[in-house]
Amino acid sequence: MQYQREATQDEVVWVFLEGEYRSARFGGELREAMAREGCPPKAILEPDLQSAEENALRQRVLGAYRGWGRNTDLFEGFPPVARWQRFRFEEGDLDRLRYVRYSYWDEISCFTGRPRSAAPVIRQGREIFEVSNAPFLEGEAFLRGGGSFPPLIAVTDGGPDIILLEGHSRATVYALAPEFFPGTACYLGLCEAKALEAWAGPPLEP
């Protein structure tokens, strides 16, 4: 991974929301949470990261949407992050990515937790829990047509594994088109190992 700079929690919250605001799968649910919290689209699409008021609003939206700061949903048991940094992935880093333990991602990755292992399953046309693979294939076509994705967000204990927080589907698309992965931006949080495993689940690989 190529280090770029330090990052703030406020920036990461915004990147998380921006990535899912544009998602066909999650965007509707996020916009509902924004409406409940009185958050205008401009706060996501044209953020002022120097505004304490805006930053607090985005945190409330992420809390209502995914449980940030509430110890619920995706962020139930989420470990404290000592620091956030921004990197760009290099060739070979795709093999370090690991999904959070969840039944769908366990199954589609053949119980390895790796996007690399999910790609052949998708190519074979196997649909896990009757969930369509079409979004992955559409994402691949988007990349090959010149499109680009928002940064991924992940956490690590400093070891080889990079645990995805936001961007599971996009990481899977990169596994289908790995030549587009180098240079991809990632916000990476550093966590204590035991706390990270308690949240993400133990690795599936021996």
Same domain, 97 and 36: no
- What is the CATH number for 160? 3.90.1530
pLDDT confidence of residue 203:
84
| pLDDT tens track for 29-71 | 999 999 999 999 999 999 999 999 999 999 999 999 999 999 9
Has residue 205 been placed in a domain? Answer: no
Give the number of other CB atoms < 10 A from CB of residue 129: 8
pLDDT confidence of residue 25:
78
Element (H, E) at 198: helix 193-200
pLDDT confidence of residue 206:
53
Has residue 39 been placed in a domain? Answer: yes
Intervals of the chain under pLDDT 70: 205-206
Last residue of a domain, one of 75, 100, 131: 75
Q: Residue 193 belongs to what domain range?
A: 84-197
Same domain, 172 and 146: yes
pLDDT confidence of residue 173:
97
Residue 83 to residue 175: CA distance in whole angstroms: 27
Has residue 19 been placed in a domain? Answer: yes
Same domain, 115 and 191: yes
Same domain, 100 and 173: yes
Has residue 139 been placed in a domain? Answer: yes
Read off the tokens for 181. 């992965």
Give the number of other CB atoms < 10 A from CB of residue 8: 13
Same domain, 187 and 142: yes
CB burial readout 26-60, b (16+ within 10 A) else e: beeebbebbeebebeeebbeebeeeeeebbebbbb
Residues 6+ apart with CB under 8 A from 98: 113, 114, 161, 162, 163, 164, 200, 203
Give the number of other CB atoms < 10 A from CB of residue 161: 19
Structural domains counted in the chain: 2
Q: What is the CA radius of gyration of the chain?
A: 17
Same domain, 68 and 142: no
pLDDT confidence of residue 205:
66
The answer to whether 58 and 44 have CB atoms below 8 angstroms apart is yes
Residue showing tokens 């990481």: 171
Supply the pTM of this predicted model.
0.95
